[in-house]
């Protein structure tokens, strides 16, 4: 018999990439609590409490607000396959990887997909959609609020009005935005929305918060065909997450404990304070990077505070810097994807990772690694500029 592998003992990392983010210690403790059954009265109470906290975070009264037992990508698939039947028209807004992914999921569900596109790093305006809405007459319009591949922050209010005036449902990807910036499901008229636990919620990947309003739920409950996915069928999940608690699948009990505690952490801090913390750390990072000659890839005025896509300076070895950060400083940042591959670094300041000490640690590490590659800037300027931004905010 071969020797047993060593026990799992992962290195300590500072997770400042596009996800997962640093996990709050309280969340890890909660996940180590005793497992109970998925129909145990205690677990059902935890589910109820988690639903109520998710409604607060989504800023919605939607009764069908729950956590899909899978990662954020399953949240995308769950919303699409429940709203779309074969032959339905759907518009998908593509300005990065995750708009492309939504279009792929919709096509696999049998939708007739019309893609409206903007260059990577830019956002959509209502004018970008008017012609497509008139021509495609869609049942659903899908858009990414926080494009993780580009760092672009998409405004939704005017687009939501336009979509509803056209008689369509609005589906929103909030995987990166939830918990880092305001997400106003009811006020903006979002019909269906999905997110993930591993970004600004600072919980391990494994659950996908979703919410359907009554208009979207009416569409789901009155389908002419069965949902193509048994596991993600909301017509059955509603009976498990609703008052009847009809068995559907064995839920990930300890992941639910983790999300429950992650939501408690955010709501104890207060949503406005949480959003302000993300914004301040973003501004400090931006000031520091600017002093080092590093700019942002996303459109000015539409840059996410929790996911900073920044341009790799001319002549700098992208992979060598990321490797140096990981191996020498224990810091993980993300590489560029798709059209941004090799051109940007994706720096996450999400949830528990959005802390001043992380910003200053990263800037100090970049200072050393960029100097080694001959990048011209004033040594120490990044940390000094970020520190000044923090002082100015006090």
Q: Cβ of 107: how many Cβ atoms within 10 Å?
A: 15
pLDDT of 272: 98
pLDDT of 1: 77
CB of 286 closer than 8 Å to CB of 308: yes
Domain segments of the chain: what residues? Answer: 25-267, 271-393
- Fold adopted by 25-267: 3.40.640
pLDDT of 243: 78
pLDDT of 98: 96
Contacts 24+ apart (CB under 8 A), 239-248: 241/47, 241/51, 241/64, 241/66, 242/63, 245/39, 245/44, 247/38, 247/39
The C-alpha atoms of residue 209 and residue 191 are separated, in whole angstroms, by 14
Contacts of 198 (CB under 8 A, 6+ apart): 19, 20, 21, 71, 72, 204, 205, 206
Q: Within the chain, which residues score under 70 in pLDDT?
A: none
Closest CA to 358 of 288, 310, 292: 288
Reported as a single tens digit per residue, the pLDDT across 43-99 is 999 999 999 999 999 999 999 999 999 999 999 999 999 999 999 999 999 999 999
**Do the domains 271-393 and 25-267 match in fold?**
no
Reported as a single tens digit per residue, the pLDDT across 222-256 is 999 999 999 999 999 988 888 788 889 999 999 99
Q: Output the CA–CA distances (angstroms, integers) from residue 152 to 14, 63, 117, 266, 311, in the order listed.
A: 23, 30, 14, 23, 14
pLDDT of 227: 96
End-to-end CA gap in the chain: 62
Per-residue tokens: 183: 């997400």
CB of 50 closer than 8 Å to CB of 263: yes
CA angle centred on 107, ends 102 and 109, rounded to 5°: 95
In angstroms, how far is CA 311 from the centroid of its own chain? 21
CB of 279 closer than 8 Å to CB of 103: no
Main-chain dihedrals φ then ψ at residue 243, nearest 5 degrees? -70, -25
The C-alpha atoms of residue 33 and residue 260 are separated, in whole angstroms, by 12
Closest CA to 194 of 212, 181, 209, 215: 209
The C-alpha atoms of residue 306 and residue 208 are separated, in whole angstroms, by 19
The C-alpha atoms of residue 327 and residue 245 are separated, in whole angstroms, by 48
Parallel/antiparallel/unpaired status of strands 14-15 and 307-311:
unpaired
CA angle centred on 105, ends 102 and 107, rounded to 5°: 110
Q: Is 198 exposed, middle or buried (0-12, 13-18, 19+ CB in 10 A)?
A: buried
Q: Determine the CATH number of domain 271-393.
A: 3.90.1150.10
E-strand spans in the chain?
Answer: 14-15, 64-68, 89-94, 112-117, 140-144, 146-147, 152-153, 169-173, 192-194, 208-212, 307-311, 331-332, 334-335, 344-348
Residue with tokens 């802390």, as numbered in its chain: 355
The C-alpha atoms of residue 279 and residue 273 are separated, in whole angstroms, by 10
pLDDT of 21: 97
pLDDT of 247: 84
């Amino acid at each position: 018999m071969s020797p047993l592998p060593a026990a799992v003992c992962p290195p300590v990392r500072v997770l400042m990439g596009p996800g997962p983010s640093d996990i709050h210690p309280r969340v890890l403790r909660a996940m180590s609590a005793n497992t109970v059954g998925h129909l145990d009265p205690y677990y059902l109470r935890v589910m109820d409490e988690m639903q109520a906290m998710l409604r607060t975070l989504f800023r919605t009264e939607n009764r069908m607000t729950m956590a899909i037992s899978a990662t954020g990508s399953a949240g995308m698939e769950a919303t699409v396959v429940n709203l779309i039947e074969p032959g339905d028209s759907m518009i998908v807004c593509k300005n990065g990887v995750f708009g492309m992914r939504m279009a792929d999921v919709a096509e696999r569900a049998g939708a007739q997909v019309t893609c409206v596109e903007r260059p990577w790093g830019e956002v959509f305006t209502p004018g970008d959609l008017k012609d497509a809405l008139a021509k495609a007459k869609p049942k659903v319009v899908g858009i990414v609020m926080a494009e993780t591949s580009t760092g672009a922050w998409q405004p939704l209010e005017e687009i939501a009005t336009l979509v509803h005036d056209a008689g369509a449902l609005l589906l929103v990807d909030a995987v990166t935005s939830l918990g880092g910036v305001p997400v106003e499901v009811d006020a903006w008229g979002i019909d269906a929305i999905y997110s993930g636990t591993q970004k600004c919620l600072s919980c391990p990947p494994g659950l996908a918060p979703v919410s359907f309003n009554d208009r979207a739920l009416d569409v789901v409950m009155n389908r002419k065909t069965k949902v193509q996915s048994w596991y993600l069928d909301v017509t059955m999940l509603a009976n498990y997450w609703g008052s009847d608690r009809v068995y559907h699948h064995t839920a990930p009990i300890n992941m639910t404990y983790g999300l429950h505690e992650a939501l408690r952490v955010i709501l104890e801090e207060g949503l406005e304070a949480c959003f302000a913390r993300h914004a301040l750390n973003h501004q400090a990072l931006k000031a520091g990077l600017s002093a080092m000659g590093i700019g942002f890839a996303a459109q000015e005025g539409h840059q996410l505070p929790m996911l900073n896509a920044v341009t790799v300076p001319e002549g700098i070895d992208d992979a060598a810097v990321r490797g140096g950060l990981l191996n020498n400083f224990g810091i993980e940042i993300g590489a560029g994807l798709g059209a941004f591959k090799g051109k940007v670094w994706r720096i996450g300041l999400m949830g528990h990772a959005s802390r001043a000490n992380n910003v200053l640690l990263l800037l100090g590490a970049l200072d050393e690694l960029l100097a080694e590659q001959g990048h011209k800037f004033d040594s120490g300027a990044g940390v000094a500029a970020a520190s000044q931004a923090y002082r100015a905010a006090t």
